[in-house]
Amino acid sequence: MQAPNEPGGAAAVGSTCGLVLQLLEFIPEAKTAVLNALAFKPAVLTMLWRILAESLERLATEGGGGAARNGGAKEELDLLQQESLFTMFCTVYDYFLMTADNEDFYVNQYPFQLEEVGLSGCVW
């Protein structure tokens, strides 16, 4: 499988997310172990978010079809890949938020800095 920053890598990640989501439905007893592994493995959530954000930004600025207009220079995810990526990100991040302690989230600021999630000015 390509790395996410290589050509075709984001599409491979989107397709892999779809496969993992389907496997979680077919093998529910593995769901907790898989989500735990993904939520606490360094860089998984940030990678999913980066790919999703780049895809959505490209869609917003170019209105879709940008890769075709640019001679294929930019990679686009199809709708199913975007949906799979978004669903996987939300599922894994939800699991992380429910299982992480305050030290992970507020002190270590994992997986995102507090500024990135809009909590920089909050007083706890």
pLDDT tens-digit map of 68-120: 444 443 456 788 888 999 999 999 999 998 998 888 888 888 888 877 766 54
Using a cut of 0.85, tell me whether the model's pTM lies above it: no
Residue 27 placed within a domain: yes
Distances from the Cα of 95 to the Cα of 14, 71, 84, 103, angstroms: 19, 39, 16, 16
Residue 118 placed within a domain: no
Nearest one of 92, 91, 79, 67 to 14, comparing CA atoms = 79
Q: Flag whether pLDDT at 21 surpasses 80.
A: yes
* Radius of gyration of the chain from its Cα atoms, rounded to whole angstroms: 16
pLDDT at position 19: 94
Residue 114 placed within a domain: no
CB atoms within 10 A of CB 100: 16
- Domain range for 46 is 9-107
Residue 121 placed within a domain: no
pLDDT above 90: percentage of residues in the chain: 35
Q: Using CA atoms, how far apart are residues 92 and 36, in angstroms rounded to an integer?
A: 8
CA 79 remoteness from chain centre: 15
Residue 124 placed within a domain: no
The region that residue 71 occupies, defined by phi over 0 for left and psi between -120 and 50 for alpha, beta otherwise, is left
Q: Using CA atoms, how far apart are residues 91 and 99, in angstroms rounded to an integer?
A: 12
pLDDT tens-digit map of 33-78: 999 999 999 889 999 988 888 887 887 787 655 444 444 434 567 8
